[in-house]
């Protein structure tokens, strides 16, 4: 397994986004997006296998995946000033 760095302070605020992630609709329904995020979190919480396959890190413990999802989401919330 590759090392996963969960230090949120390592990443600069407003860092460049990879071009593949820049395609999004011009109008976003925030209530719909909030509900989608909640559904995704619930699916992640329900994972009960010991390991899962992550397309970037390969086989990782499901607890690490859950931590990674929380870290990634927290990073973006921090990036857009939703947390401080």
Task: For residue 4, give both structure tokens.
Answer: 């996963």
pLDDT-derived band at 3, boundaries 50, 70, 90: low
**Per-residue pLDDT reduced to its tens digit, 35-73:** 999 999 999 999 999 999 988 888 999 999 999 999 989
Q: How many domains does the chain have?
A: 1
Average pLDDT over residues 18-37: 81
- Please name the residue that has the structure tokens 């209530």: 31
31-35, 58-62, 71-75, 78-82: which has the minimum mean pLDDT? 78-82
Structural domain harbouring 66? 50-84
Continuous H helices in 46-61: none
Candidates 55, 51, 73, 46; CA nearest to 64 is 51
CB contact set of 14 (below 8 Å; sequence gap of 6+): 79
Instruction: Please tell me the predicted confidence (pLDDT) of residue 79.
Output: 82
Q: Confirm whether 69 is domain-assigned.
A: yes
Q: How many helices (H) and strands (E) does the chain have?
A: 2, 2
């Amino acid at each position: 397994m590759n090392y996963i760095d969960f230090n949120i302070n390592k990443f600069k605020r407003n860092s460049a986004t990879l071009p593949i992630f820049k395609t999004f609709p011009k109008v976003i329904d925030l209530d719909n997006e909030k509900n989608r995020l909640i559904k995704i979190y619930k699916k992640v919480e329900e994972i009960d296998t010991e390991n899962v396959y992550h397309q970037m890190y390969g086989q990782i413990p499901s607890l690490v995946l859950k931590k990674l999802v929380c870290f990634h989401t927290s990073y973006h919330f921090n990036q857009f000033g939703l947390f401080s």
